[in-house]
Amino acid sequence: MAYDDPRLAADAIGRRASLPADDWASRPGDPVPVVPAAVESGTDVPATRGRNRGARAIREVVETLLLALVIFLGVRLVVLNFRVDGLSMSPNLHDGEMLLVNRNAYARFSFNDVLNLLPGEDRPDGRILWEFAPPERGDIVVFEPPLNDPDKPYIKRVIALPGETVTFRGGEVYVDGKQLDEPYIEDGITRCDRGDECELTPAEGEVVVLGDNRDNSADSRSFGTVDVDAIVGKAWFGYWPVEDIGLVPHEDYPDMPERPGDSGQ
């Protein structure tokens, strides 16, 4: 007869061990207990099961932590956190607002970088393949500081693309002689620090950027054009404070041409 409970099996063994040997033989009807291996060897079954459960729990915790680390590193390769510092982009972005910046938005591949590995004369920049799209007018971008402030990236809006001429005149912005409609700026006045009328023409691989708060923004009017290589990424999603959660709006300019050319492609 088998006993599922090790304690019952042990009891049975004890009772039979206390009987004379003849009594064992004289009781053919009395079932002989089948002793579980765990009882025979003296193993504590509940303790073993507890240790196994503990090992499984530790393994699951370690696996969860490793998975979380892989996901975190993967996300960091695609986006980064950025905190808006100051009022240069108000009223559209607020001081202290937290954003996710798509650092791969302007990823590109240069065929000449590969060709320059071959012997011979180095080829200039060009023949660029954009993985998604080059910077567009209306994009809000984060870029390395053009001034002596290495720990503080800037955030501004792209206003002009390579080859376009931007003119600041009479408080308005003109691109290739056409006034830019900017309903998103608060006061509608754009002054130039270099006089009543000044202009900028970004070269290939450069853009002109302006803050939305034109009276409180250091931008291309003061430091000139921005190299596309200096752009860290495109502002994508606001996640704090709660009332600002959502996609960072992209402005369209239906009256302006899409691009003046291939923008260095």
For residues 99 and 199, membership in a common domain is answered with yes
Res 263 pLDDT > 50: no
pLDDT in tens, 187-198: 778 888 766 568
Q: What is the dihedral of CA 90, 217, 255, 201, to 10 degrees?
A: -160
Give the H/E segment covering residue 107.
none
pLDDT of residue 250: 85
Residue with more model confidence, 248 or 116: 248
Stretch 171-184: mean pLDDT: 93
pLDDT of residue 60: 84
Determine, yes or no, domain membership for 263.
no
pLDDT in tens, 194-216: 665 689 999 999 999 999 999 99
Residue range of the domain that includes 140: 84-107+134-247
Determine, yes or no, domain membership for 113.
no
Confirm whether 90 is a catalytic residue: no
pLDDT in tens, 42-67: 555 566 777 788 888 888 888 888 77
The count of domains in the chain is: 2
pLDDT of residue 237: 94
Only one residue has tokens 């500081």, namely 145
Contacts of 196 (CB under 8 A, 6+ apart): 169, 170
pLDDT of residue 260: 43
Show the DSSP H helices in the chain as ranges.
6-17, 21-25, 37-41, 45-78, 111-115, 220-223
Kindly report the backbone phi and psi dihedral angles of residue 146, in degrees, each rounded to the nearest multiple of 5, phi listed first: -80, -10
Determine, yes or no, domain membership for 129.
no
Confirm whether 156 is a catalytic residue: yes
Structure tokens at 134: 């080059």
Determine which one of 90, 110, 156, 217 is catalytic.
156
Mean pLDDT of the chain: 78
Determine which one of 88, 90, 220, 263 is catalytic.
88
For residues 212 and 172, membership in a common domain is answered with yes
What CATH code is carried by the domain that includes residue 155?
2.10.109.10
Taking the C-alpha atoms of residue 91 and residue 207, their distance in angstroms, rounded to an integer, is 23
For residues 62 and 100, membership in a common domain is answered with no
Cα dihedral across residues 79, 83, 87, 88: positive or negative: negative
Res 90 pLDDT > 90: yes
Res 183 pLDDT > 60: yes
